Structure 1
């Protein structure tokens, strides 16, 4: 998949706007002063920083220089603005995603690496279609008529087996994920076998954190870390009616540390595979 095919302008604008706002805050420049510098109103600059409007590369460069940002920061933020100006990629199945999640999908397409901590079900990037269908069924947020297209959309956005640029994914899941049935035993069996197959790939690192580990850093909430080639990372935390996108360095660093600590508490890749195989054996013996 080519870069121009992967670039979602709304996601890029979010990255650009977040970087501009962070640089302005660090430089202690008021929004009014920054807006005046490029001939904008404060309101227009606010839209620019939120990613709700287009950001010209010239304006971005002028602002980053006003903020005395390091040259390398100016370069990558301007490069993102240039890419965002080249058009929006309309993602397949857009109609079944809420607006706040469309932004995540765009960011996910741009990410080079992803870490996910999941405590309820397997990460979307490693789900089978049948398992994904069971996950989104009976949801307060998804009408029955949208279950099938929503599940298909989850599969369509998977990049772990992409031939050209596969997503590098590291995930830690709770042991309870292995024992929570979604769909029939056949669905779970297919999901387990799919995960074992993906775990043989060099770009997939899936670990189980055993229930016996007790209290640990991830118990408060599931989260995702997205890392980009051209931008700093983002932490993503989803809740019932929306999501948080955190890009402040202190916030991202905290979640990155949490991710490292979770991996340290989890089983090895070999022991995780053994745990999955034990569930396969249990399901087959119960047939």
Structure 2
């Protein structure tokens, strides 16, 4: 197994997973087989399986019929039907869909629904903390696209950062290497502003920035960058996202997730703690101020 921007921040991918997990729980509580559930809504056993995994859009009529079959009514029934309607709402990034790779759409929904985001990268500032100019400089290195498309890609990345704001923001734990903060991506002025923004972000209660030093292999615990997503809903398992230039892998097998969790724990343990991030960045700002 391995998206409207609303107060619960759940995009279609995560919402479908939540609906499916609850349907499975109701079915098992009534000791109903997938085959019998499928027969009840004139569908196959495999369709029930896909619904419970959140891999297909839901028809409200099918969910209504299943809830009646499972004996679910009242507020609980209404709550689930509301989730179904939200899952069928167009994603907030729909206007930018032309610059969203197909394999990235699931991640956008999961990221916006996450209650905690842990990210590891040796080479670049985390996407959720990038300034527009830093993002543009980074994309110019990897994207052979028009100025208009570049603008749209920058807008998409900036819009993703709303997950860290609002009434119930996600908690971000970011392990960043000193090399990424000293690399002159976009030039001294771009990096100066990026470092200032990072210092400001490190003081925000829901953002915890761990900076690894040149003098230790503190962050060198994995070859590729990765992100671990955790959700408030018990129905949703932790998810690891691994991105490559032309695709992505979504990992949710508990033993595999634990492997990545231990890797990022080791990285954070060997890096400067969050309460020192602002002072570490202040030490880096001197050369950038001089160059600017």
The question of a shared fold, defined as TM-score above 0.5 by the shorter chain, is answered with yes
- 264, 267, 278: which one pairs with 2:283? 278
Q: Which runs of 5+ in 1 are unaligned?
A: 66-75
1:246 aligns with 2:251: yes
1:121 aligns with 2:124: yes
- Contact 2:218–2:267 (Cα < 8 Å) also in 1: no
Partner of 2:157: 154
Q: CA deviation at 1:271?
A: 3.8
How far apart in 2 are the matches of 1:17 and 1:217?
38
- Contact 1:225–1:234 (Cα < 8 Å) also in 2: yes
Larger RCO (CA within 8 A; separation ≥ 6): 2
Partner of 1:73: none
Question: What is the SS of the residue equivalent to 1:148?
Answer: helix
How far apart in 2 are the matches of 1:134 and 1:107?
26
- Contact 1:13–1:81 (Cα < 8 Å) also in 2: no
Q: 1:145 to 1:33 in 2, by over 3 A?
A: same
Question: What is the SS of the residue equivalent to 1:236?
Answer: strand
Residue by residue over 1:264-286, the C-alpha shift from the partner in whole angstroms, topping out at 9 and shown as x without a partner, is 11112244333321221011123
1:261 aligns with 2:266: yes
Residue by residue over 1:17-57, the C-alpha shift from the partner in whole angstroms, topping out at 9 and shown as x without a partner, is 58989xx9xxxx99878856865325534643361332754
Alignment of 1:83-232 (within 5 A): 83-86=83-86, 87-92=88-93, 93-140=96-143, 143-159=146-162, 162-214=165-217, 218-230=221-233, 231-232=236-237
- Contact 2:218–2:271 (Cα < 8 Å) also in 1: no
Q: CA deviation at 1:103?
A: 1.5
Partner of 1:52: 56
Q: Which runs of 5+ in 2 are unaligned?
A: 71-75
- Contact 2:212–2:219 (Cα < 8 Å) also in 1: no
How far apart in 2 are the matches of 1:259 and 1:34?
42
How far apart in 1 are the matches of 2:33 and 2:243?
31
Q: 1:216 to 1:209 in 2, by over 3 A?
A: closer
Partner of 1:3: 7
Question: What is the SS of the residue equivalent to 2:92?
Answer: coil
- Contact 2:18–2:54 (Cα < 8 Å) also in 1: no
Q: CA deviation at 1:157?
A: 1.7
- Contact 1:136–1:142 (Cα < 8 Å) also in 2: no
Q: 1:215 to 1:272 in 2, by over 3 A?
A: closer
Q: CA deviation at 1:89?
A: 3.8
1:234 aligns with 2:239: yes
Q: Which moved more, 1:182-191 or 1:261-270?
A: 261-270
- Contact 1:7–1:88 (Cα < 8 Å) also in 2: no
TM-score (normalised: structure 1)? 0.78
How far apart in 2 are the matches of 1:8 and 1:265?
34
Aligned residues: 271
Q: 1:16 to 1:239 in 2, by over 3 A?
A: farther
TM-score (normalised: structure 2)? 0.77
Q: CA deviation at 1:11?
A: 3.4
